[in-house]
Structure 1
Amino acid sequence: MSDNAVEMRDLVKTFGGGRRLFGRKASEVHAVKGISLDLQRGETLGIVGESGSGKSTLARMLVGLEAPTSGTMQIDGKPWAELAATGSRAFGRTIQYVFQDPVASLNPRKTIGEILDVPLRLLCGYDAGKRASRKKDLVDAVQMPLDTLERFPHEFSGGQAQRIAIARALAAEARILVLDEPVSALDVSVQAQVLLLLQQLRDDLGLSYLFISHDLAVVESISDRVAVMYLGEVVEVGPAARLFAAPQHDYTRALIASAPRLTSPDMA
């Protein structure tokens, strides 16, 4: 088995380019331009870049929400096209997505128990008894009380809702998680708690994370390696400590220099 949980080769995604009224061709937008990148098993790979750099488009392709225009992907050693062709069950049990807005991603009409029941029933095929036991394990894993299962999404804070969203992703037993700005909507103190939880889950369960964020401090704190995207391309990739200490590309240096600081460089 490959050491890589995800392999991307020459990945391209364009939008537009079709024919408009009166035969005019619409302009193409190149969101992702020939990316080749690997996510190793058990690794957290941070993806950073300004808005419009193609980070979220890349994430959406990985989880099947967008189809690539060209290029290839391997997910857990299987061709992306093969997984997509076998349907949502195989795909959902291989890779899962954690959204930026946890409350909006949870069905407001369902209890948390009902929300967690869906992947356990449809993706894992568990019977009622196994689902009940597994739901208790999931809320415990994300450090939430057992009565969470009987409550509705609007009853929780943003940090609690994100823990529930993480539990839902874990319900399918996928070992690859794509986390798209998972803490950007949370207060700083809550961000730290969720990041610590993610690190603990990764170590305990052997997960692999593709962690997307515009917050460089968050990416530096959680990532083993970091890939920097600019206008749809990866311009630099390397170990997090090295990349932040000695960036090689002009864009990476500018991105790091533009990040907010708690103190002025002139302050002692």
Structure 2
Amino acid sequence: MKTVIEVRNLVKTFGGRKSWFSSAEHQVNAVKNVSFDLNAGETLAIVGESGSGKSTLARMLVGLDHPTSGTMMLMGQDAAQWRQRGAKAFGKTVQYVFQDPVASLNPRKTIAETLRVPLTHLCDYAEVQQKQKMQQLMQAVNMPHDALECYPHEFSGGQAQRLAIARALAAEAKILVLDEPVSALDVSVQAQVLLLLEQLKQQFNLSYIFISHDLAVVESIADRVAVMYLGEWVECEDNNTLFSRPAHSYTQSLLASAPRLIADTH
């Protein structure tokens, strides 16, 4: 099976300089020696409480933050080489889908104008090709074609997230990093977006890094699940194994604290 991401001993440290108020050095180790692989066509979920390092790791995977140390390979090439080739090369390889869909879309641009940016600058589509591609993207995310002429504030949260996903697909990247993509949505809308993500994965041969704190969502979509705690990668197993036989004590407590519905059998 082809490996699309290889991460080895990735570290991200913030601070380390003397503050104005103290001669002591303040340093935060947000990600500590994380190593993992992502296979083509796989959904790898990363779970953990707030402050565990999930989003910092996600930002490094898409090139928004640079690692302090360690290596990261994307599609068999060192991520540093992708960065040297510029944002265009990196953006065509991996795309980020943000938690807040409305905030992640430019409020001053129509959806067509938003989609035109990656189609023009990352994929070099001519204007005639862009119109055709936009219509295909609207169909892929189950949105009407006239949505292209609307602004982000005209859509519900679920619709806006579909459009944010369409923007990521416009770059034709094969890896999507989804950072809490359904946490801001109602439960019924969450199910629709999760089903859409699964359909798109098959249609476009995508691979997902799925960041979440919601264990129920993770259980429904992930092939493998990794658990982060205080910046460390404490456990990574296939979905069934992790939820039925968690090995690490932190994973056990995390699962035990998740709210569950208790059916009335009487």
TM over 0.5: yes
Structure 1 partner of 2:186: 187
> 2:180, 2:212 within 8 Å by CA — same for their partners in 1?
yes
Q: CA deviation at 1:25?
A: 3.9
User: CA, structure 1 residues 18+194, in 2 after alignment: closer, same or farther (shift >3 Å)?
Assistant: same
Matched, 1:221 2:229: no
Provide, for residues 191-228 of structure 1, a one-character-per-residue CA deviation record: whole Å limited to 9, x for no partner.
Answer: 00000000000011110000000000000100000000
* Equivalent residue runs for 1:142-221 within 5 Å: 142-221=141-220
Residue by residue over 1:20-55, the C-alpha shift from the partner in whole angstroms, topping out at 9 and shown as x without a partner, is 348824311000000001111100000000000000
Deviation at 1:78, TM superposition (A): 1.2
1:76 CA displacement: 1.2
Measure, in 2, the Cα distance between the counterparts of 1:206 and 1:95. Answer: 13
Aligned residues: 266
Per-residue Cα deviation, 1:133-156 (whole angstroms, up to 9, x for no partner): 100101110000010101110000
Q: Write the letter of the residue equivalent to 1:91.
A: F
Matched letter for residue 65 of structure 2: E
Distance in 2 (alpha carbons) for counterparts of 1:130 and 1:237: 42
Letter of the 2:244 partner, please give it.
A
Cα-to-partner distance string for 1:135-193 (whole Å, 9 max, x where unaligned)? 01011100000101011100000000000000000000000000000000000000000
Which SS does the other structure have where 2:103 is aligned? coil
- Structure 2 equivalent of residue 127 of structure 1: 126
How far apart, CA to CA, are the structure 1 residues paired with 2:92 and 2:187? 32
**Identity among equivalent pairs (%):** 65
CA RMSD of aligned residues (A): 1.3
Query: Normalization by structure 1: what TM-score?
Result: 0.97
Q: Classify the secondary structure of the residue corresponding to 2:17.
A: coil
After the TM superposition, which residues 1-268 of structure 1 pair with which residues of structure 2 at under 5 Å, given as runs?
A: 3-21=2-20, 24-263=23-262
> Aligned AA for 1:207?
L
Q: Distance in 2 between matches of 1:129 and 1:212?
A: 36
Where structure 2 has 5 or more consecutive residues not aligned to the other structure, the ranges are none
Shift of 1:62: 0.5
